[in-house]
Amino acid sequence: MTVTSIFPNESDGCSSEELFNVPMEQSMQSKILKCIEKFYSDNPELRKIAEDISCEIIVNKLNVHWDDVIGLEECKTAVKEAVVYPLKYPIFFDGPFSPWKGILLYGPPGTGKTKLAKVVATECHCTFFNITASSLVSKWRGDSEKYIRVLFELAYSHSPTIIFIDEIDWIATNKGDCILSEPAKRFGSELLSRLDGLVSNENSNVVLLATTNSLWGMDAALLRRLEKQIYVS
């Protein structure tokens, strides 16, 4: 809302736009804080975790569009059908046409996987969690599971939501290729159990979008839950 003063001299040195225009970023942050207060007001530990995870929500507009990605026409079409259309038009994706809950972009480094994720964040106009290893994996036993629990609770409360995990290999490497750390193992186990909950209809507006450079090195249990796999050449 923009209010224009009839008498300009009475603005007291402050323009009406500065008084009445509320940036979208501040509105989103206010909504996040209210949600945290509602769910975790009586639990300081989970409240602190929720505040840390809320820092991973992309609140400013990335302003990256399909035309900014050169080529990859087949890949862009597949991403639209798998992620964008179900979030924009959920009425057409119900029953036997229910969309995929887990999407994996795989291909060599530098082909535009992360760029495509930024396009999705711009085009879908939904809550976008940009998850990194440092924000979720803790050396303290039990903390990683709590981080995953709070992440999905926040995702459901802010739906439609996209949870984006770049380079998901760090928690999904094949056991034969690499020995994972104990926190990464616990994080991966909790993530798998939470992904099973995405299948229900009530959580249909939450999607996991992940990227990897080495599909062949990933854990088979996670690959089975990432139902739609799109090759970025």
Q: How far apart are CA 207 and CA 93, in angstroms?
A: 14
Mean pLDDT of 139-146: 69
Phi, psi dihedrals of residue 87, rounded to the nearest 5°: -80, -35
Give residue 120's identity as a one-letter amino acid code: V
| 64-231 fold | Rossmann fold (3.40.50)
Structure confidence by residue, pLDDT tens digits, 157-192: 887 888 888 888 776 665 555 555 566 666 777 777
pLDDT 10s digits, 66-104: 888 888 899 999 999 988 888 888 888 877 778 888 889
User: Do the bridges between strand 228-231 and strand 102-106 make them parallel or antiparallel, or are there none, so unpaired?
Assistant: parallel
Across the chain, what does the average pLDDT equal?
Answer: 76
**Other CB atoms closer than 10 Å to residue 84's CB: what's the count?**
18
| Residue 7 pLDDT exceeds 70 | no
Segment (H or E) for 36? helix 24-40
What's the confidence (pLDDT) of residue 221?
80
Nearest partner of 209 among 129, 126, 144, 92, judged by Cα: 129
State whether residue 180 is helix, strand or coil.
coil
* Beta bridge pairs of residue 105: 211, 230
Q: What is the pLDDT of residue 77?
A: 92
Structural tokens at position 52: 């840390």
If you average pLDDT over residues 125-136, what whole number do you get?
Answer: 76
Burial of 32 (0-12, 13-18, 19+ CB in 10 A): buried
pLDDT at 176: 53
The yes-or-no verdict on residue 230 having pLDDT over 80 is yes
Q: What is the pLDDT of residues 183-226, one digit of tens each?
A: 666 677 777 777 777 655 555 678 888 888 888 877 788 888 88
pLDDT level of residue 10 (50, 70, 90 thresholds)? very low
Query: What percentage of the chain carries pLDDT values higher than 90?
Result: 2
